[in-house]
Amino acid sequence: MAASRTRMSRSMSAWADAPPLPWLYPYREDAQSTRLGEPVFRPFVPISLVHGDQSVWQLTGLVDTGADAILASNLLAEPLGIDLADNEGESTHAVGGRVLTSQYKTIGLQLHPSDAAEDVYLEWQAPVGFVEGWHSDGLVLLGSIGFLNRFTVTASRFAQAVAVEDRDAFDERFGTTLSA
Amino acid sequence: MEPIRTDFTGYEGQFVAIDARTGEIVLADQDLLVVLEQAKGRNHVVVHGRVPYADEPLYVGMG
């Protein structure tokens, strides 16, 4: 394991031997049965959650452009040593006819490459909403605030892959639309 | 790019962890905390979540 970290930006750090972006991830089969008899493939990426000196091992995070934030099962709060009563705010979400409550806490996230090498990652801090009554088979949703505003993410079901690039890659490709 | 396939058959109702390079299930238990604990320190292993039963609905979007 590398012994030191290299500062990549004011808000992002990485182990010194992390390869440069873009990182490519093949789609992965989801455990959710099948759709019309065909397997379900989704854009999952390996992600670790860190809180103080506690962490949970790598999880499959689902890239979800429809989610406003990063959301996770509240089952992960205990191994992270998070007291959700001491949260930074709550919000409710109407999903599939149910109302779910999430409690937010700012924690560390680590994005790993597709082979899930444990000592290769990019790390940043972001608010994560811990959701009660989580019914997805995945444990983390990577939405707009905290993930899609940190990277340029391109998902192609045709290529059956997702690419994660520096967040400036979008502007470089299409012209500057808005400065963060 | 070829997607990573996983055969979840027989693991319904259990939380599973997968070798990210092959898609093979390497850990399974009814208790998520057990899987998280056993996965710790195993390079290239990711905890995927719970495998639903065949008659559970196909969820879309958040959560």
> Could you read off the pLDDT of A10-26 as tens digits, one per residue?
457 766 568 899 999 99
SS3 at position B42: coil
| Higher-confidence position of B29 and A67 | B29
Q: Could you tell me if residue B29 is inside a domain?
A: yes
Give the structural domain span for B49.
1-54
| pTM, entire model | 0.89
Q: Report pLDDT for B17.
A: 97
User: What would the mean pLDDT of A43-58 be, rounded to a whole number?
Assistant: 95
CB atoms within 10 A of CB A52: 10
Q: Could you tell me if residue B21 is inside a domain?
A: yes
Q: Does the structure show a pLDDT above 70 at B53?
A: yes
Q: Could you tell me if residue B63 is inside a domain?
A: no
Q: Report pLDDT for A15.
A: 61
| A101: its two tokens | 């409550």
Interface of A with B in 107-166 (CB under 8 A): 114-118, 131, 134-139, 141, 143, 159-161
| A108: its two tokens | 């560390």
State how far Cα A161 lies from the chain centre: 16
Q: Does the structure show a pLDDT above 50 at A4?
A: no
Q: Where are the domains of chain A?
A: 5-170
State how far Cα A174 lies from the chain centre: 24
**Fold assignment, A5-170:** Cathepsin D, subunit A; domain 1 (2.40.70)
Interface of A with B in 1-60 (CB under 8 A): 24, 26-29, 31-33, 35, 39-41, 44, 46, 56-60
pLDDT digits (tens, 9 = 90+) for A156-166: 999 999 999 99
Distances (CA, A) of A89 to A3, A81, A137: 36, 18, 25
Chain mean pLDDT for chain A: 86
| B21: its two tokens | 């390079």
Burial of A35 (0-12, 13-18, 19+ CB in 10 A): exposed
Q: Does B59 touch chain A (CB under 8 A)?
A: yes
| Chain A residues in contact with B18 (beta carbon < 8 A) | 60
Q: Could you tell me if residue B18 is inside a domain?
A: yes
Count of structural domains within chain B: 1
Q: What is the distance between the alpha carbons of residues A127 and A41, in angstroms, rounded to a whole number?
A: 27
Q: Report pLDDT for B56.
A: 79
SS3 at position A48: strand
| Chain A residues in contact with B45 (beta carbon < 8 A) | 57-58, 116
Q: Could you tell me if residue B15 is inside a domain?
A: yes
Within chain A, strands assigned E span 5-7, 13-15, 23-26, 28-35, 38-42, 44-51, 54-63, 70-73, 90-95, 98-111, 122-131, 140-142, 151-156, 161-166
Please tell me the least confidently modeled range out of A11-20, A76-85, A114-123, A159-168: A11-20
Q: Could you tell me if residue B12 is inside a domain?
A: yes
